[in-house]
Every structure is written in C-alpha cells, then in structure tokens.
Amino acid sequence: MPSYREGGAPVQDSPNIIMDEAAIRRALTRIAHEILEKNKGIEGCAIVGIRTRGVYLARRIAERIREIEGSPIAACELDITRYRDDRPLADGAAAGIVCSDGDRSFDVKDKRIILFDDVLYTGRTIRAAMDALMDCGRPQSIQLAVLVDRGHRELPIRPDYVGKNVPTSKHEQIEVSLTEIDGDDRVMIKHPREAEVGG
Ligand SMILES: O=P(O)(O)OC[C@H]1O[C@H](OP(=O)(O)OP(=O)(O)O)[C@H](O)[C@@H]1O
Ligand SMILES: O=c1cc[nH]c(=O)[nH]1
C-alpha cells in the first residue's frame, strides 16, 4: 500500500519514485486522448518537444495518437538555447524546428502546436520555447503539455495537459528519466540533501 509524503504525492515502491514506467505510460495515453478530445481530432495539429526529454515525450505521444486515430501527426523538436534568459548564448546556437524525420522545412504557420516538456517549474523554459516558435512562423495556437507540473511559476503560464501535479518545495528537485536516453522510465523527487549529494 503506498504511503504519502508531505504535500500529498503518493510514494511508490521506492520513497523517491513518484511515477514508474506504468504510471508514465498511463499518463501519456491519457494526455493523447485529451489532446484528441480538445482538438476534435488531429487536423492541423503538430506535437513539438522541447529538448531534451520533451522530444522523446512528444514522439511517444505522436505514436499513441497514431495508434488511436490511425493516421500520423507531425512530431518535431525545438531547440530553445538561444532564447533562454538564464544561460549565456552558445556560439552558433540556432533557433528552429526539426521534425523527427529530419525535415527542417516544417511550417508552423496556422498549425495548432502542442508543446511538450518533461517538467514545468518557473515557466521560463516555456516562455523561451514560445518565443522560439513565434520566430519560426505564426501558429494558429499553442497548447502546453507536461509530464510533471511541480508549481512555483514565475510567469503567467498554465499547462493544458498534465501527467501529474506534484506539490514541491523550492528546494526539492524533480528528475525525469526516459528509456531512450537514461535507460529506464521513472520520475523521482529529490529532497534537499539528496539533491546536494547527487543521490
Ligand atoms: O519551468 P522551468 O523553471 O524553466 O524548468 C523546467 C525545465 O527545466 C528542465 O530543463 P533543464 O533546463 O534542466 O534542461 P534539460 O531539459 O536539458 O535537462 C526541464 O527539462 C524543463 O525544460
Ligand atoms: O525540479 C526541476 C526543476 C526544473 N527542471 C527539472 O527538470 N526539475
């Protein structure tokens, strides 16, 4: 039987794991259905993942939607490096959308864009992503999907689709692992001392 940490988030097998592989899979399937319901299908929609882990989540969601709808939806990735307000500019960092099939000519104009990221915290990454998108063209609309919303927004940004709301303190850290790059699927919460020692 799960116990509960302060703030209400259930603790599963390990005290720090707040989503395991099955929980992530179920959350993504639910979000895929919510996207289809809100947009009445996928006509004119594209999923855009924010590097790094948002890209893999976007691809998974696109695959779920293809399985449910029987037709493909574009899955692209967005590099926002040059739009961040908290890191120095990397030389040559470029804006731009690249589709999963390598197509760099994807046109956001008049598309309903569903931005995907793993964690939503202050909202600054999403602000940067919206600026980057707008520089690529004029989408009809932008919606936001995140695997984890941990609160503490510093900008007026609200997600349309959330895998899990996790009340956190500012000292805690949410760490998302995805099979494609980390070897397994899980979401962990690290408490202050664990975050310090990297445990
Ligand atoms: O709402 P915010 O305060 O912007 O925080 C959320 C962002 O922080 C993490 O990215 P990070 O900058 O650590 O880079 P990464 O995705 O390469 O790990 C996470 O992947 C989100 O993109
Ligand atoms: O806890 C956090 C905050 C921002 N980004 C993360 O990946 N985790």
How far is Cα 130 from Cα 134, in angstroms, rounded to an integer?
Answer: 6
Query: What number is the ipTM of this complex?
Result: 0.95
Cα-based angle 156, 24, 126 (whole degrees, multiple of 5): 20
Per-residue pLDDT of the chain (199 residues; tens, 9 = 90+): 344 454 444 444 456 999 999 999 999 999 999 999 999 999 999 999 999 999 999 999 999 999 999 999 999 999 888 887 765 555 544 557 777 667 777 889 999 999 999 999 999 999 999 999 998 889 999 999 999 999 999 999 999 999 999 999 999 999 999 999 999 999 999 988 766 655 4
Q: Is the CB of 153 under 6 A from ligand 1?
A: no
Phi, psi of 158 (to 5 degrees): -135, 130
Which residues does ligand 2 sit against, CB inside 6 Å? 119, 121, 150, 173-174
Cα(69) to centroid(ligand 1), Å: 31
